[in-house]
Amino acid sequence: MRQHHRTLRLLGSLLLVATGVSATGAAPARPAPSTPLDRVVPAPASVAPGGSPYRITPDTHIRVDDSGEARRVGEYLAAVLRPSTGYRLPVTTRGGGGIRLRLAKGPFGAEGYRLDSGRKGVTLTAAEPAGLFHGVQTLRQLLPAAVEKDSVQPGPWLVAGGTIKDTPRYGWRGAMLDVSRHFFTVDQVKRYIDQLALYKINKLHLHLSDDQGWRIAIDSWPRLATYRGSTQVGGGPGGHYTKADYQEIVRYASSRYLEVVPEIDMPGHTNAALASYAELNCDGVAPALYTGTEVGFSSLCVGKEITYDFVDDVIRELAALTPGAYLHIGGDEAHSTSHEDYVKFMDRVQPIVAGYGKTVIGWHQLTGATPAKGALAQYWGLDGTGAEEKERVAAAARGGTGIILSPADRIYLDMKYTADTPLGLDWAGLVEVKRSYDWDPGDYLPGAPASAVRGVEAPLWTETISKSADIEYMAFPRLAGVAELGWSPAATHDWDAYKVRLAAQGPRWEALGIGYYRSPQVPWPAQRG
């Protein structure tokens, strides 16, 4: 009898596995099987499937080490799992089987983790809480997509057996949000942070100022925010972050293990500042507020001393709000600043950043001046960018400037997917999902040593983007590919395998209420309901 049962059970699980292969949307007659251990984005560094799956049940506990941060990651996981499973999932430091989050020495680095899954439980091990957090994101993807819903779902909640060992390729896996062209509220930014965290993105770069808006309160220059926060592209009401708002964003990001990198774009892209304070203009006349989308027409007055008082005040106040190591000073498209003035300006401003204990980041035009020691340059050229410009950046890289790769015709999330994409721009070309994924940051910039590349970052400029649904439609699915370029070993890079893993994200996004672009390049399962 026992034997018979076991045979039946075996047959049952074989059946489950069999139906699982064709998870193409036709409602399965049986509950979904466990997700294969390697169906994760970004692809883990190594996956060894095997052994029995673990099943989360009403008795599962989430056991954590007795550390505040480990407990917080445990509570975060519980908050993901409770609504859909309907289970209590107490977070405990003693006893209780099931899911375990352990901090331990090991070959994990600052962000890596190991996941062991078997009949008795799932254990995540990491050297740092960030690793546990990233491991939790992997665990989410191993559970059925319905786990992301906010109402009780039937389950069962199986995690395939085996081991994942995972560490990132790059320490810089960023996303930039332009809150200047259109303003986004603290809640909208938090929503994006949660989405970035799903894919182990660890930097949130906020483009806080531009011609169309100044979005951060600066006490010593209050009109920046109150006057120049007051509108946006198209003439809408705009807005700005108070210091408390901004600190709330920083705190929330850090609870998701993202570092916020604030950018004040200078010396161009500064109409917002120039409009707020007449004295910052060379001719002493404040220009009108600007709500269009042209670039390259504004410049701080490089010859005036007050310019540097202004920059010092802004950088001091911003540095005080920034626990992270970096301040981004822009430096792109300074078409209204002479080359000589640009170099002079950067020579004066970079030491100010260092003086407040921060490391400079600039758009790659900074390499046309003299990047400070330790500075990072963010490359936003195209495949077709001239050899001379690429070589200037590569030479800086050889000289020690770190490079963040944001090639516009690959990972600018504001580029249209196709000519029919209702949002976005196309100056860098049309960027379908495959094009966005199919390149290697390691050998992208000719002549730049691979060791100079710190990672990748996907900017989202918002001339045409004004609500969360717009952000999501442009970011998904491309953002997942950028995350994979930043996290996964080059050896895992393979479009045909990637598109299958990517397709499995579709139902997760649907469960999370993320409206994404259903690219015909990706074999999405049929949509339900």
Q: Which residues are catalytic?
A: 333
Q: Minimal distance in Å, beta carbon 205 to ligand TNX?
A: 11
Considering only 170, 184, 461, 498, the residue that binds ligand TNX (CB under 6 A) is 461
Q: Minimal distance in Å, beta carbon 374 to ligand TNX?
A: 21
Asked whether the CA dihedral 318, 225, 471, 402 is positive or negative, the reply is negative
SS3 294: coil
Of residues 470-529, which lie at the interface with ligand TNX (CB under 6 A)?
A: none
Of residues 76-115, which lie at the interface with ligand TNX (CB under 6 A)?
A: none
Of residues 336-365, which lie at the interface with ligand TNX (CB under 6 A)?
A: 363
Considering only 45, 110, 295, 354, the residue that binds ligand TNX (CB under 6 A) is 295
What are 283's two structure tokens?
């001719």
DSSP 327-387: EEEE----TTS-HHHHHHHHHHHHHHHHHTT-EEEEEGGGGGS-PPTT-EEEE---TTS-H
Distance CA 148, CA 155 (A): 12
Q: Minimal distance in Å, beta carbon 449 to ligand TNX?
A: 24
Closest CA to 93 of 80, 111, 75, 79: 75
Distance CA 111, CA 135 (A): 9
Considering only 412, 487, 498, 516, the residue that binds ligand TNX (CB under 6 A) is 412
Q: By C-beta, is 295 or 430 nearer to ligand TNX?
A: 295
Separation of CA 279 from chain center: 38
CB 113 within 8 A of CB 44: no
Distance CA 324, CA 258 (A): 10
Residues 6+ apart with CB under 8 A from 402: 374, 375, 376, 377, 452, 453, 454
Q: Minimal distance in Å, beta carbon 411 to ligand TNX?
A: 11
Of residues 424-443, which lie at the interface with ligand TNX (CB under 6 A)?
A: 425
Which string of x and - marks every residue 252-291 that binds ligand TNX (by CB under 6 A)? ----------------------------------------
Does residue 409 interact with ligand TNX by CB under 6 A?
no
Phi, psi (degrees; rounded to nearest 5) at 27 = -55, 120
**What's at 468, amino acid-wise?**
S
Q: By C-beta, is 134 or 364 nearer to ligand TNX?
A: 364
Buried b / exposed e across 151-163, counting CB within 10 Å, b at 16+? eebebbbbbbbbb
Buried b / exposed e across 353-366, counting CB within 10 Å, b at 16+? beeeebbbbbbbbb
Q: Minimal distance in Å, beta carbon 208 to ligand TNX?
A: 13
Q: Minimal distance in Å, beta carbon 495 to ligand TNX?
A: 25
CB 382 within 8 A of CB 428: yes
Q: By C-beta, is 38 or 470 nearer to ligand TNX?
A: 470
Considering only 184, 380, 439, 516, the residue that binds ligand TNX (CB under 6 A) is 380
The DSSP bridge pattern shows strands 162-166 and 113-118 to be antiparallel
Q: By C-beta, is 310 or 363 nearer to ligand TNX?
A: 363
> What 3 state SS string does 298-324 have?
CCCCCCCHHHHHHHHHHHHHHHHCCCC
Considering only 38, 263, 317, 414, the residue that binds ligand TNX (CB under 6 A) is 414
Q: By C-beta, is 96 or 429 nearer to ligand TNX?
A: 429
Q: By C-beta, is 271 or 281 nearer to ligand TNX?
A: 271
Considering only 128, 148, 259, 332, the residue that binds ligand TNX (CB under 6 A) is 332
Distance CA 89, CA 448 (A): 49
Q: By C-beta, is 186 or 425 nearer to ligand TNX?
A: 425
Q: Minimal distance in Å, beta carbon 117 to ligand TNX?
A: 42
What are 429's two structure tokens?
């070309």
CB 110 within 8 A of CB 131: yes
Considering only 309, 312, 333, 389, the residue that binds ligand TNX (CB under 6 A) is 333
Residue with tokens 């994006």, as numbered in its chain: 192
Q: Minimal distance in Å, beta carbon 274 to ligand TNX?
A: 16
Distance CA 377, CA 197 (A): 24
Q: Minimal distance in Å, beta carbon 263 to ligand TNX?
A: 10
SS3 467: coil
Q: By C-beta, is 74 or 407 nearer to ligand TNX?
A: 407
Size of the site for ligand TNX (CB under 6 A): 10
Beta-bridge partners for 456: 173, 405
How open is the CA angle 286-292-295, to the nearest 5 degrees? Answer: 80
Q: Minimal distance in Å, beta carbon 333 to ligand TNX?
A: 5
Q: How far apart are the first and last CA of the chain?
A: 42
Q: By C-beta, is 61 or 364 nearer to ligand TNX?
A: 364
The DSSP bridge pattern shows strands 326-330 and 259-266 to be parallel
Q: By C-beta, is 332 or 432 nearer to ligand TNX?
A: 332
What are 457's two structure tokens?
């970052």
Interface ranges with ligand TNX (CB under 6 A)? 295, 332-333, 363, 380, 412, 414, 425, 461, 463
